Structure 1
Amino acid sequence: MINTVAWFEIATDDPQGAEKFYGELFGWSFAADEESAKGGMDYRLISYPGADGPRGGVYGTGGKFPGHGVFSVVVADTAATCARAEGLGGEVVFKLLDNPNGPDFAYIRDASGNLFGVFTPPNAAGA
């Protein structure tokens, strides 16, 4: 559903360490995201006991992006949401639009400096 929290992400330059930590702590399992891998991104889908499918991911940053743990909100239009966030005093930290290997997404800092994500699933713009 649009404008709801739909995903969480853990970004780290040590994805194997994150898998070990969260796997042992919570019983989560991990699988490579093949679509992201096609685009050269190390992204691992997180599944947890009782879930009907992955609801999160570990992003292997390779040291090119700060580590973080964030929630992400599904939106109808990532670019428009970024523009609205900036108009409200937020800051777009990173955005990827017209992503051929997955959803359009962005990381935004709210007016208080908190990082969160937004994304538009493929073929869902305007939904």
Structure 2
Amino acid sequence: MTTPPFDTVAWFQIGSDQPDSVKAFYRELFGWNFAADPDEDGGYDLITYPGNEMPAGGVAHVGDASDNHAIFYVLVQDVPAVLSAAERQGGKVDQQPVTAKNGLVFAKILDTSGNAFGVFSPPPAN
């Protein structure tokens, strides 16, 4: 598995209160494939593209339409350091760092126009 370069968009997420419908939409439109994330207890599906079995995004199952979203995530070496730098540049931390079961760390930032995006660092190497 090849890790994308740091400081590049390396993941995206679509949140939907109708995950089956949104998966069917993207499957028909682009031929995307979906599979339950084995690191989650349900409620998240990994997205792969035809010819590439490495997941590139996910579908989060959300409670209602007010939580529907589409967001990109930038791969970084140090999430807390990037949050501090974003605040110094006029951005705002929208979600403090969260550590997933596998050790991946992610957070959300609002840029100077209020656009939300995420940052994440990979889980530690085994």
Q: TM-score, normalised by structure 1?
A: 0.84
- What's the CA shift string for 1:5-59, capped at 9, x where partnerless? 111111122211111111111111100001122xxx5110001112241111111
Aligned counterparts of 2:23 and 2:92: Cα–Cα separation in 1: 30
What displacement does 1:95 show? 3.0
Give 1:75-90 correspondences, 5 Å limit.
75-90=76-91
Which residue pairs with 1:100 in the alignment?
101
Residue 25 in structure 1 maps to residue 35 in structure 2: no
Correspondence 1:102-121 to 2 at 5 A: 102-121=103-122
Q: Give 5+ residue unaligned stretches, structure 1.
A: none
| In 1: Cα distance, 2:76 partner to 2:18 partner | 29
Q: Does structure 2 conserve the Cα–Cα contact (< 8 Å) formed by 1:35 and 1:102?
A: no
Q: CA deviation at 1:87?
A: 1.6
**CA RMSD, 1 decimal:** 2.0
Please give the TM-score of this superposition, normalised by the length of structure 2. Answer: 0.85
Return the structure number with greater strand share. Answer: 2
Unmatched segments (≥5 aa) in structure 2:
none
Query: Identity across aligned pairs (percent)?
Result: 47
Give the letter aligned to residue 80 of structure 2. Answer: A
Residue 15 of structure 2 aligns with an amino acid whose one-letter code is A
